[in-house]
A and B are shown apart, each in its own frame.
Chain A
Amino acid sequence: MKALAAAMLLFCAAFAGRPAAVDDAAITGEGLPTKLSDYGFFTDLAGEVPAARVIAYDLETPLFSDYAAKHRYLYVPAGLKARYAEDAAFDLPVGSAIIKTFGYRQAGKFKPLETRLLLRRARGWVALPYVWNTEGTDALLKRAGTRIPVEFTDPAGKPRSISYAVPNQNQCKDCHALSGAIAPIGVKARYLNHKGQLEKLLAAGMLDRLPADAPHIARWDDPPAKLEDRARAYLEINCAHCHNPAGAASNSGLFLDWRRNDPTALGIRKRPVAAGRGSGGREFAIQPGDPDASILIYRMESVDPGIAMPELGRATVHAEGVKLLREWIESMPRR
C-alpha cells in the first residue's frame, strides 16, 4: 500500500513535469528560489515525504526556540559525502543542504511556520528563510523575515501566545557565522551521535567515515547524566555559536563551548562587558552557588530585547532550561 502511494506520488510528480529528485541546480545556482518547493527536497512537501538522500535527523541537545518543534533534514548530493570531523561541523560538499522546519503542534497536528535553509554553494554557505502559507502547502522566501502571531501550549500545559520571529537573512548569520563566514551548527558528531544517526548517514553513503570513538554530548533533559554535562551541553547549543572566539559575541570574552575549561571565560566571577542593562544589577556572569546573583540567569529569565539572551529567536522563557542552569550554578561551591 505504502509502495503504491509512493509510486503514485512519483507518477504525479512526473506528470506535473517536476523532478522527483532534489533539484541540485536550485541549491548550487546563484539564484534565490522563491518557493521551498522549487528545491524538491520533498516528494510531498506538505506530507514531509523526503526525496532521495534527504535524511531526517535530530540533535541530542537542541537549541531552544520558543518551544517550537523542529524537523531537520540533511541532503548530500549523489556521489558525494560529508567529511567527518571530530570537533567541528562536518565538511559538507558543495550542493549539500540543511533543511530545518519550525512549527507547533496544533490540534494534534504539526503546523509548519517557517523553513530555514542552509545551502552549500561554491562560494560558501547561504542561509535563507522561507515562510509557510496558511494552507501549509508551500513556503515562500522572506529575506527580511517576519513576525507571526502564534498560540501554543508549553510542556507544562500552560497556554502561550507569542509574536514568533522569523529571522531575516542577516540574522541567520548572527548565530551561523564563524570568523564572518556562515557555518552549520548542528551537523557535528557530538550532536548526531545518538539513535544510530551517524551509522545511518554512513550507510546511506552520505558520510565518509565514522570512528568508533566519535564524541557525544549530554542530553540536557536526561536526569541520569551528570548535571554539569547537561548544563554545559545546554550552554553549548544555545550560546556557544555566538559566545566563542570566532563568533558574533567574541568581544564579550564569555566563551561557552563545551570543552572550555578557563573558569573566567566560562563566566565564573567574570564581570560583564557591554552588557548594559543586561547585567540586571548583578556583578558576575556566574556567581558560584548563587543563581540569583548571576547575570546569565537574569538574561535567560528575561524576554526584554535589551536584556534577553540569546538575542534572537526567543520570545518566551525556557523554564526547564533555566531550572537546569540554576541547579548547576547552585551546585558550585560558593566563593
Chain B
Amino acid sequence: MPRYWTLAALFAASPAAAQTVTVEPGPDAQERLQTALIEAKPGSIVRIGAGRFDLTDGLSLDVDRVTVRGAGPDKTVLSFKGQLGAGEGLLVTSDDVVLRDFAVEDSKGDGIKSKGADRIVYKHIRVEWTGGPKETNGAYGVYPVSSTTILIDGVEVKGASDAGIYVGQSEQIVVRNSKVSGNVAGIEIENSRHADVFHNLATGNTGGILVFDMPSLPKMGGGEVRVFENKVIDNNQANFAPKGNIVATVPAGTGVLIMANDNVHVFRNDLSGNATANVMITAYRQSYDDAKFKPVPTRIMVSGNRHGRAGYAPGFPGGAQLAAALGGMIPPVLWDGSGDANSLRVSDGVPVLSMGLKQGAPLDTAQPAPVELKGAQAPMPTAVVLPAAMEAAAK
C-alpha cells in the first residue's frame, strides 16, 4: 500500500500539462502505456523506453498531435505474443500523430492500424511476425486506412499474411525508404488516390508492390499512383494468405502488380528474380456486384525500368508449360489481356506477353501471345507533397 501512495504522490507532483511522459518496460506495462496514451494532451510526446514490453491487449491512441517515440526499432519492442484481445497491436484514430522508432512484434491481428487518422507519420517503425511467413500471422503490418495525407518512411515489415505495408481508401500517400520481406504482399496501395511509392526494397514476398482497386467499398476509383526507383527483387515466397482474401490469388513470383487502377506510372525500378513476372497488369477478375466499379486497368505507364531475369517459373496454372513452350521463360511483363490496349503503355525495351483473357473469363481460356502495348502517354501524376510539419517530424 505505501508504494501506491508514493506513486500517487509522484503523479500529483508532476505538472498537469506535462508535455513529455516516458514509459519504461516492467510490470503493468499494459496499463502504464495505455494510460499514457489516454492521458496524452495534444502536443505531448509519449516516450517508450528501450526494452521489451509484454502486452496482453491492443493499445490505442485517440488524441490529436501526439508523438509516440521509442528508442529505436530494434531497442523498443512492443510484443503482442500474449495478446488476448483487440484486432491490432496499436490503433490510432486521431490526427497529426507521429509514430517512430519502435517495433511491434507478433500481434494477433494487424500490427499498427490507423483509421481516419490524417497526416500520420510512420517513421523507423518495425513490424514483424518473428516466426517467419505463416498463415497464422496477422494480416497487415502498418495499415493506414480511410485517411488523408500519410507518410510511411523507413518502415520495415516482415511476415504479414496479407500486406506488409497496406494503405487503403486514402489520399495523398508517400511510402518510401522502407523494406518489406517475407510478406504475402510487400506494399499494397488499395482503393487509394495520389500515392508515391519510391526508394523501397521489396524482396522475398509473394508479390512485391501491388496497386489494387476493389469493388463494393465506400471508396473506389484508385489511381494517380507513381511507383518508382524501388528495388523489387526475388519475390518468390509461396503464397501463405488465407483463401478469400484478394492477395491469396497473387501468384508467387510477382514483382509489381497493377490491378483495376487508373493512371499508374511504374518507372526506373530495378526488377529482377521474380519468377512469374516483374510487372503484371490485370483486371479485377473475380465476380462482383457493383455497378460503379471499373474492373479494368486504364492509363498504366511502364517505362525505364531495369529488368533482370524473370518469368522463369510462372506461378499460375499452365505457367510451366507456357514457359517451356517459350524457351524456358515468359516475358517479364505480363498483361491479362482485359481492357483497352490503347490505354496501356510499356516502354521498357522488354517483351510483353498478353494472356488474351476476356474480362472475367477463366484462366483456362487464355490465348497467350506477345503483344506491344503502345497506348497514348498519360500525364504523370503530380508528386505528392506533404505538409512541412510531416517532413520535419520524419527527420
A276 to B111, CA, bound (A): 12
The contact string, 1 if C-beta is below 8 Å from chain A, for chain B 101-145, is 000000111100001100000000000000000011111100101
In the complex, what residues of A have CB within 8 A of residue B346's CB? none
Prevailing SS type, chain A contact patch: loop
Out of B61, B84, B166, which one reaches A170, CB within 8 Å? B61
In the complex, what residues of A have CB within 8 A of residue B62's CB? 170, 173
Leading 7 A-B pairs by shortest Cβ distance: A276-B139, A279-B244, A306-B108, A144-B34, A311-B87, A306-B109, A170-B60
> Are A170 and B93 interface neighbours, CB within 8 A?
yes
In the complex, what residues of A have CB within 8 A of residue B61's CB? 170
Q: How many residues of A contact B (CB 8 A)?
A: 47
Given contacts A147-B57, A277-B242, A311-B86, contact A264 B216 (CB under 8 A): yes
In the complex, what residues of B have CB within 8 A of residue A264's CB? 216, 289-290
Out of A147, A180, A270, A277, which one reaches B116, CB within 8 Å? A180
> Are B242 and A251 interface neighbours, CB within 8 A?
no
Tell me the smallest distance from the CB of A162 to a CB of chain B, in Å: 10
In the complex, what residues of A have CB within 8 A of residue B138's CB? 276-277, 306
Tell me the smallest distance from the CB of A182 to a CB of chain B, in Å: 10
- From B31, B87, B93, residue with most partner A Cβ within 10 Å: B87
- In this assembly, does B2 line the interface, its C-beta being within 8 Å of a C-beta of chain A? no
A271 to B35, CA, bound (A): 37
A51 to B32, CA, bound (A): 35
Q: Which of B24-43 contact A (CB under 8 A)?
A: 30-32, 34-35, 37-39
- In this assembly, does B83 line the interface, its C-beta being within 8 Å of a C-beta of chain A? yes
A279 to B143, CA, bound (A): 17
Who on chain A is nearest to B160 by CB?
A: A276
Who on chain B is nearest to A165 by CB?
A: B85
> Are B217 and A275 interface neighbours, CB within 8 A?
no
Given contacts A171-B86, A273-B217, A281-B242, contact A251 B145 (CB under 8 A): yes
> Are B60 and A271 interface neighbours, CB within 8 A?
no
A: residues with CB less than 8 A from B are 143-147, 163, 165, 168-171, 173-174, 180, 245, 248, 250-253, 263-265, 269-284, 295, 304-307, 311-312, 315
Who on chain B is nearest to A298 by CB?
A: B244
A181 to B353, CA, bound (A): 51
A265 to B136, CA, bound (A): 27
Who on chain A is nearest to B28 by CB?
A: A144
- In this assembly, does B359 line the interface, its C-beta being within 8 Å of a C-beta of chain A? no
Who on chain A is nearest to B113 by CB?
A: A274
A180 to B290, CA, bound (A): 27
In the complex, what residues of B have CB within 8 A of residue A143's CB? 34-35, 38-39
> Are A305 and B242 interface neighbours, CB within 8 A?
no
What are 9 A-B residue pairs whose CB atoms fall within 8 Å in the complex? A145-B31, A170-B38, A180-B116, A251-B168, A251-B217, A273-B168, A276-B242, A277-B139, A305-B58
> Are A147 and B38 interface neighbours, CB within 8 A?
no
In the complex, what residues of A have CB within 8 A of residue B58's CB? 305
Out of A251, A263, A276, which one reaches B109, CB within 8 Å? A276
A171 to B60, CA, bound (A): 8
In the complex, what residues of B have CB within 8 A of residue A180's CB? 93, 116
Given contacts A253-B216, A277-B136, contact A168 B34 (CB under 8 A): yes
> Are A269 and B38 interface neighbours, CB within 8 A?
no
Out of A250, A274, A305, which one reaches B108, CB within 8 Å? A305
A264 to B216, CA, bound (A): 7
Given contacts A253-B217, A271-B246, A281-B242, contact A168 B38 (CB under 8 A): yes
In the complex, what residues of B have CB within 8 A of residue A284's CB? 244
Out of B85, B108, B145, which one reaches A312, CB within 8 Å? B85
Who on chain B is nearest to A253 by CB?
A: B217
A144 to B33, CA, bound (A): 8
Given contacts A165-B84, A171-B60, contact A283 B139 (CB under 8 A): no
The contact string, 1 if C-beta is below 8 Å from chain A, for chain B 210-240, is 0000101111000000000000000000000
Out of A245, A251, A280, which one reaches B244, CB within 8 Å? A280
- In this assembly, does B288 line the interface, its C-beta being within 8 Å of a C-beta of chain A? yes
The contact string, 1 if C-beta is below 8 Å from chain A, for chain B 235-270, is 000000011111000000000000000000000000
> Are A276 and B140 interface neighbours, CB within 8 A?
yes
Given contacts A264-B216, A264-B290, A306-B108, contact A272 B245 (CB under 8 A): yes
A283 to B136, CA, bound (A): 17
Tell me the smallest distance from the CB of B220 to a CB of chain A, in Å: 9
- From B93, B169, B242, residue with most partner A Cβ within 10 Å: B242
- In this assembly, does B146 line the interface, its C-beta being within 8 Å of a C-beta of chain A? yes
Tell me the smallest distance from the CB of B55 to a CB of chain A, in Å: 11
> Are B162 and A276 interface neighbours, CB within 8 A?
yes
> Are B218 and A253 interface neighbours, CB within 8 A?
yes
- In this assembly, does B338 line the interface, its C-beta being within 8 Å of a C-beta of chain A? no
> Are B289 and A269 interface neighbours, CB within 8 A?
yes
> Are B218 and A145 interface neighbours, CB within 8 A?
no
A274 to B212, CA, bound (A): 13
Beyond A280-B242, A283-B244, A284-B244, list 15 extra A-B contacts (CB 8 Å): A143-B38, A144-B34, A170-B37, A251-B115, A251-B146, A251-B169, A265-B216, A269-B287, A271-B246, A276-B109, A276-B138, A276-B140, A277-B135, A305-B84, A312-B85
